[in-house]
Amino acid sequence: MLLELFGALSALIYLWLEIKQKSQMWIIGIVSGLVYVAVFSTQSLYASAGIQAFFVIMSIYGWISWSKQRDKLSADPFFKRISAGSVIIYLLLTAALTLLLSTLLRLYSNDPYPIADSAIASLSITATLWLSRRYIEQWYLWMIVNAASSLLYLYSSLYLTFVLYIIYFAASVVGIREWRKYGEVLK
């Protein structure tokens, strides 16, 4: 319970920094991700634990990527838009990954919710890739992920994490508004 509380608090700090477009979010993302690997592993939510390990790796990549782009921010809007063709490709890859992960979890684990856990993990990977590339549409994926995650963690008796993902959902709505506002200021 204490580890879950620490994970939830560090995740909230990460989220606030993301909304404010602060590159320090990536450092907090490393900490939060490592904590949640342990939390989800104890609940046999292996895809959720795996996605947290992925978040740690992506936090390192995002930190480097955003640091390189910092000088360009004064000339360009902070966010970019993803093309419709790219969305289709990403979503097809996400569906394929969901199918692969859920099959592996059903065959080789005791994950109580292999399809939901895999879909959430796959969509989270896509949303994180979009975030690292500064696509504003990542917020829409996070809304879906956060709504589905909140239900999964409620059913898994991870009540603090359930509340965290409800907050994440609300913050996704705020996040897209903030990013749009920031982008409009820079145009």
**Quick check: is 149 in a domain?**
yes
Q: Would you state the pLDDT for residue 37?
A: 95
Q: Would you state the pLDDT for residue 69?
A: 67
Host domain of residue 122: 2-69+83-186
User: CA-to-CA distance for 158 and 11, rounded, in angstroms?
Assistant: 15
User: CA-to-CA distance for 167 and 133, rounded, in angstroms?
Assistant: 24
Question: What angle do helix axes 84-108 and 46-69 make, rounded to 10 degrees?
Answer: 150
Range from 20-29, 81-90, 114-123, 147-156 carrying the lowest mean pLDDT? 20-29
**Quick check: is 78 in a domain?**
no
**Quick check: is 182 in a domain?**
yes
Residue pLDDT, tens place only, 54-72: 999 989 988 888 777 665 5
Q: Would you state the pLDDT for residue 185?
A: 43
> Where are the alpha helices (H) located in the chain, listed in sequence order?
2-19, 25-42, 46-69, 84-108, 114-132, 138-155, 159-186
Q: Would you state the pLDDT for residue 186?
A: 43
**Quick check: is 77 in a domain?**
no
